[in-house]
A and B are shown apart, each in its own frame.
Chain A
């Protein structure tokens, strides 16, 4: 029987601390999981339950998967307490990936807030693997404080990549911070980008998504070129349990990424 509700066993191989509340888990499933960037998985803490996460690693690697997780509640707390070697479960991938073919030849503006950079890292890696196919890729990332910036070990490498432009900002700096201060919407206005030609991809906390969307629209980005990662409580991940409804969609099945034109009619989409 093809049972869509059960996970396959997986082993945590490595755990990397990204910030005080965020860790990246390197996980090896017993069977390979092939995903497209933007799709998500359900990660099981055996005997306790599961939660949805978008892999943060490259979709071209299928025998191992990295997932960057913020401690936010019961499942994530248990995950944060785990050590390498621990057994977890995985099922998926679910949802629809980013339509990379539509991004080709155009500037791609990636807007991340907090742990929202995790799924975007997978996208960034996928784009970087064929970077010559795109116009410049702009990563615009905001975190609360310098200590909350994730992937600090990787960002300097990214900044060196030709065709990739990285801008960081923090809501509040410290003595050592020399970069931008302000929320992520303050670094979206960029004279080098022609919004009419660009695609924007955003992922972050609801409030950031709301303001980033309005800012991008103000700047002249097209409604159908603003890709937004939407979040709702989820259980099944396969469009059956009813938890993740957003208007006429289920986020798990029709998303998790939607262009703004598809969801703008929904009352309070970012609530």
Chain B
């Protein structure tokens, strides 16, 4: 194994700008007065560059499964033929890396592959980074996710004093190092130790936050047992069907195909869809299996805590808390899980 490397704070921006000559660079940044967000970095970017402390507002899926994507023309239409460029995401966090397991399964697994996803996934180099803070909404610990990447990255940056401890996780990551040697030096033992201390501290903070939630860790069980609970009806009363929870979620993968005339023929678009919309399961004639808002709310939990665990032994929630911040109805996944959990406990004590 290669010794740990070090990247100086001063070289961070330089590396990103170098990478911007090789492909599209998306970086998760924290700019004055803004929440961490993804922005495009060009080689003439001169803003402040500092990796975000927590996950960006935008889920990683947006780079692989865009909100609206042309999936081609048929019967005479001209193919969009977009230029295929390498892309880099800098500063992806552990929770979002875990969402890739779900997305890979959906789009790259099964009998049919989605070539649009696979192609973007192949082109994307992931340079992740450790979380250096934990937001109030973060509850990744409940999903067994660490606040620092444990895999799925090409390169990882762990913030320490004066710079970053660098790990490479793939050939691609190693290539970045060999190609841009000038930015990297060996990390001192003390720096690696500092990284470990940071990781412990942030993990502890998250654990404390998770403990305060008092949620039974068997989410599969509490969700299926709580299928008939009143909580769905009570909480769904505040849902305005905006779809934000679905769209902002790194693992929500539902979409709908829609067609229009384009060029000399026709084009088909693949666009994010939301199971919270009344029309999601509506069939001709008006019937729907998710007629009530409460049924649609429950559907989201069913999918995340029953369906995906059955399919691949993974919760399809990363505890990123984005849906908590996004919901105008203040519907909080942690509160719902808390109710399901305490009801399950009460049943057991009866």
Contact = CB atoms under 8 A, between A and B. Distances in A.
A95 B255 CA distance: 19
Given A240-B253, A243-B280, A5 B287 contact: no
Contacts of B348: none
B19 to A, nearest CB: 27
Nearest to B246: A242
B284 A6 contact: no
A4 B114 contact: yes
Given A5-B270, A233-B282, A235-B255, A240 B111 contact: no
Contacts of B112: 4, 238-240
A57 B265 CA distance: 29
Contact of B266 (A46, A235, A238, A240): A46
Contact of A44 (B74, B113, B275, B281): B74
A36 B280 CA distance: 29
Contacts of A238: 110-112
B74 A253 contact: no
A241 B273 CA distance: 8
A229 to B, nearest CB: 14
Main SS of the interface on chain A? loop
A84 to B, nearest CB: 18
With most chain A CB atoms within 10 A of its CB, the pick from B119, B259, B287, B310 is B259
A50 interface: yes
Contacts of A241: 254-257, 273
Interface in A214-242: 231-233, 235-236, 238-242
B289 A242 contact: no
A4 B311 contact: no
Contact of B227 (A3, A87, A235, A267): A267
Given A44-B74, A87-B75, A235 B257 contact: yes
A97 to B, nearest CB: 14
A73 B285 contact: yes
Interface in A1-31: 1-7, 9
Given A5-B270, A242-B275, A236 B74 contact: no
A60 B270 CA distance: 33
A240 B110 contact: yes
A233 B281 contact: yes
Interface residues of B, number: 45
Contact of B303 (A9, A47, A245): A245
A146 interface: no
A108 to B, nearest CB: 28
**Contact-residue size bin, chain A (C-beta under 8 Å from the other chain):** 35 or more
B307 interface: yes
Contact of A248 (B259, B283, B287, B310): B310
Nearest to A244: B281
A245 B266 CA distance: 29
A231 B115 CA distance: 27
Most buried by B among A6, A48, A76, A235: A6
B289 A240 contact: no
B205 to A, nearest CB: 34
Contact of B268 (A6, A245, A267): A6
B199 to A, nearest CB: 35
Nearest to B65: A240
Contact of B255 (A48, A72, A236): A236
B280 A233 contact: yes
A235 B263 CA distance: 23
B280 A7 contact: no
Nearest to B286: A73
Given A5-B268, A49-B259, A248 B280 contact: no
Contacts of B287: 206, 271
A58 to B, nearest CB: 24
Nearest to B281: A233
10 contacts: A1-B115, A5-B71, A47-B260, A49-B258, A73-B284, A73-B285, A232-B283, A235-B257, A242-B273, A271-B291
Given A2-B115, A44-B74, A238-B110, 8 more contacts: A4-B112, A46-B259, A47-B261, A72-B285, A76-B284, A206-B287, A233-B288, A245-B303
Interface of B: 71-75, 106-107, 110-115, 119, 227, 253-261, 265-266, 268, 270, 273, 275, 280-285, 287-289, 291, 303, 306-307, 310-311
Interface of A: 1-7, 9, 44, 46-50, 72-73, 76, 87, 89, 206, 231-233, 235-236, 238-243, 245, 248, 253, 267-268, 271
List the 8 closest A-B pairs by CB distance, nearest first.
A242-B254, A72-B284, A73-B284, A238-B112, A47-B261, A47-B266, A5-B71, A271-B289
